[in-house]
Structure 1
Amino acid sequence: MKIEIWSDVMCPFCYIGKHNFEQALEKLPFKNEIEVEWKSFQLDPTLDAAKPQNTIEYFRQKKGLPADQASQMIGQVAQVGKGAGIDFNFEKALIINTFAAHKLLHLAKKYGKSDEMEDALFKAHFTEGKNVGDIEELVSLAGNSGIDKDEAREVLTTDQFDYDINQDIQEAKNNGISSVPFFVLNGKYAVSGAQPSEVFADALQQTYQETVSPFKNLSQEGGASCDTDGCSI
């Protein structure tokens, strides 16, 4: 069963959603039958890749909020993150164009390291205050994930994967996806936002029953039946 996830590195709810989704997945008996594909999405493609901004200042300007109100809003997100076991450090987080980070994610996909790289980028951005638009920072993250640094640098300094990123973004537009995280379950159902793990678990189970499992059991409990070992009531 295939799960496609549209996400952006500077989206805190994408980080929380990933955590909750993986918690749900871990408890499912068919977890080894799940294929996850991360898709690129940019919340603000107009950002300058060479000019990182302070998070509070960015939201103050972007949403026209007073600094104290922007700070309060960010504090509320941090509390939600804490409940999911994620330590957000918005005071250090740098807002930057994430296109280069998405190039690294597509390179990681090539080596089956998408989940690991997503976590590394989220942690670098939200906890460690690293500039995830900086080439050398991204090359270092690639090396830490076991990806050849020279290959990573080549990808980050050329147009490799540009087409793939733009295709992901266009696919999101074509499907009416305007916010992230956005989860598409085996091409049949969608879950939007950082839902609790229970919501993800229910959605995954329903999708599995309807699209993978040969039969959908409509009964709430097992009734009297017989198997190869005999009958039971």
Structure 2
Amino acid sequence: MKVEIWSDVMCPFCYIGKNNFEEALKKMPFKDEVEVEWKSFQLDPTLDPKETKNTFEYFKEKKGFPEVQAQQMIGQVLQMGKGAGIDFNFEKALITNTFSAHKLVHLAKKYNKSGEMEEALFIAHFIDGMNVGDLETLVSIAGSLGIDKEEAKNILSSEEFDQDVNHDIQEAANNGITGVPFFILNGKYAVSGAQPVELFQNALQQTYDETVTPKNLTDNGASCDTNGCEI
């Protein structure tokens, strides 16, 4: 059984969805039969990889939100995060282009460490306030997972894996995916948004038990799209 997950490093709901999905998967008796494949999605490919913005600046520029409204929205995300075991640190988070970070996930896939890389990038971005668009930062993250730093540096400095990232993004478009996180379970069911653990459990069990035409199991949950994040 295969689960494909489209995600972006700077999407808080992707981190919440990851934790909830993984918690659900741990409870399934067939968990060892499930292959998880992480797919690239860029919420804002127009961002300059050489620049960073803080969360409030980005909300104001992208959606025109005043800081008070942005604070209210972030407060809701903080509560959702705590429920998933995440202590977001939005005051430190640096918004930037995530294309290179996605390349690192594809490199990690080569070593069966894509899930660990996703986690490391989420922690770097949302907890530690690191610049996940910076080459040296990404090389350091790769090294922390036992991936050769020189290989990581060469990958990030070249066009290798560019096609893989772009293929994932195009595949999302072909599947009508406009927001993340987005989960396709064995090509049978689609789950969108940072859903609760129980829903992921039900989806996994149902997918395991049935062979059906792909369809959405739920209305859209909290997710981010190219216009920003919505609850």
TM-score w.r.t. the length of structure 2 is 0.91
- The equivalent of 2:229 in structure 1 is none
Q: Is the 8 A contact 1:186 1:211 kept in 2?
A: no
SS in 1 for 2:169: helix
CA distance in 1, matches of 2:117, 2:66: 35
| Residue 179 (str. 1) matches residue 179 (str. 2) | yes
CA distance in 2, matches of 1:66, 1:210: 47
CA distance in 2, matches of 1:64, 1:78: 21
Matches within 5 A, 1:24-173: 24-173=24-173
1:29-69 deviation digits (Å, cap 9, x = unpaired): 00000000000000000000001001111001111111111
Query: Unmatched 5+ residue regions in structure 2?
Result: 213-231
| Residue 204 (str. 1) matches residue 197 (str. 2) | no
- The equivalent of 1:231 in structure 2 is none
Counterpart of 1:144 in structure 2: which amino acid? S
CA distance in 2, matches of 1:56, 1:74: 9
SS in 2 for 1:3: strand
CA distance in 1, matches of 2:87, 2:155: 30
Quote how far apart the aligned CAs of 1:197 are. 0.5
Q: CA RMSD in A?
A: 0.9
SS in 1 for 2:87: coil
Following TM superposition, the consecutive aligned residue runs of length 4 or more in structure 1 with deviations greater than 4 angstroms are none
Counterpart of 2:21 in structure 1: which amino acid? F
1:141-165 deviation digits (Å, cap 9, x = unpaired): 0000000000000000000000010
SS in 2 for 1:183: strand
Quote how far apart the aligned CAs of 1:115 are. 0.7
Query: Unmatched 5+ residue regions in structure 1?
Result: 213-233
Considering only CA atoms, is the larger Rg found in Structure 1 or Structure 2? 1
CA distance in 1, matches of 2:155, 2:71: 36
Quote how far apart the aligned CAs of 1:211 are. 3.9
Counterpart of 2:207 in structure 1: which amino acid? T
CA distance in 2, matches of 1:153, 1:144: 14
1:182-225 deviation digits (Å, cap 9, x = unpaired): 0000011100000001000001000000149xxxxxxxxxxxxx
TM-score w.r.t. the length of structure 1 is 0.90
CA distance in 2, matches of 1:67, 1:197: 32
Counterpart of 2:186 in structure 1: which amino acid? N
SS in 1 for 2:180: coil
Counterpart of 1:90 in structure 2: which amino acid? F
Counterpart of 1:111 in structure 2: which amino acid? Y
CA distance in 1, matches of 2:211, 2:10: 33
- The equivalent of 1:8 in structure 2 is 8
